[in-house]
Amino acid sequence: MTAKNPPAGYILVEGYPSVEDYLHLRKSCLSPKNVQQAGAALKGSWYGAYVAEETAPTKAIAMGRLVGDGGWYFVLADMMTLPEHQRKGLGDVILKKLLARVKSHAAEGKAHVLLSADPPGVKLYQNNGFRIMGPQETGMGLFIDVEQE
Ligand SMILES: CC(C)(COP(=O)(O)OP(=O)(O)OC[C@H]1O[C@@H](n2cnc3c(N)ncnc32)[C@H](O)[C@@H]1OP(=O)(O)O)[C@@H](O)C(=O)NCCC(=O)NCCS
């Protein structure tokens, strides 16, 4: 849970990517989101970090964010690295930064960080202390279709 520096040529930035970069990351790495979803997601998060190339310091090429109450309950979301920058340790740098923030800023006591892991992320998370829930607890999720009136 100690933050570490990114590899040469990259910088680690506290905060969130632009809406444009976020939408590009989503489309390239996970399911696409719309502008309204992106704005709310970035504005409503507790903490985030992204990685950029030194030559383009405001253009996010990898990111992660935490949604949470700031006390003890957090959800890890949007761990994404553009395909051409994957397997260089950037996801690990971002994850360690996010977890270090919980350690330094959450309320005293035991903090709980949850996530829903896609296959590429499993080892990354396990290497950083996450365990698959069970047998007592079962992770559950619900997708709700939202339509604007
Ligand atoms: C998951 C993801 C964020 C990892 O980002 P990354 O910058 O490539 O991660 P790192 O280079 O720090 O990898 C750290 C470790 O995670 C594991 N890992 C990363 N990508 C992996 C993959 N595609 N398959 C298997 N293990 C993987 C490896 O153990 C890796 O260490 P190693 O390269 O020394 O073997 C990236 O692959 C991604 O954006 N994937 C598509 C979106 C996604 O599935 N996000 C996770 C949602 S839960």
103-119 pLDDT, tens digit per residue, is 999 999 999 999 999 99
Atom of ligand 1 nearest to the CA of 125: 16
**Cβ atoms of 67 and 77 closer than 8 Å:** yes
Residue 148 is predicted with a pLDDT of 81
Ligand 1 midpoint to CA 125 (Å): 9
Instruction: Verify whether ligand 1 is closer than 6 Å to residue 79 (CB atom).
Output: yes
Spatial separation of the C-alpha atoms in residues 47 and 68, rounded to whole Å = 8
Instruction: Verify whether ligand 1 is closer than 6 Å to residue 91 (CB atom).
Output: yes
What residue owns the CA closest to ligand 1's atom 9? 91
Ligand 1 midpoint to CA 80 (Å): 8
Instruction: Verify whether ligand 1 is closer than 6 Å to residue 80 (CB atom).
Output: yes
pTM of the model: 0.95
Q: What is the mean pLDDT of the chain?
A: 96
Residue 134 is predicted with a pLDDT of 86
* DSSP states along the chain: ----PPPTTEEEEES---HHHHHHHHHHHS----HHHHHHHHHT-SEEEEEEETTEEEEEEEEEEEEE-SSSEEEEEEEEE-GGGTTSSHHHHHHHHHHHHHHHHSPSS--EEE----GGGHHHHHHTT-----SS-------------
Tokens coding 3:
């933050």
Ligand 1 midpoint to CA 120 (Å): 5
Instruction: Verify whether ligand 1 is closer than 6 Å to residue 120 (CB atom).
Output: yes
| CATH for the stretch 10-127 | 3.40.630.30
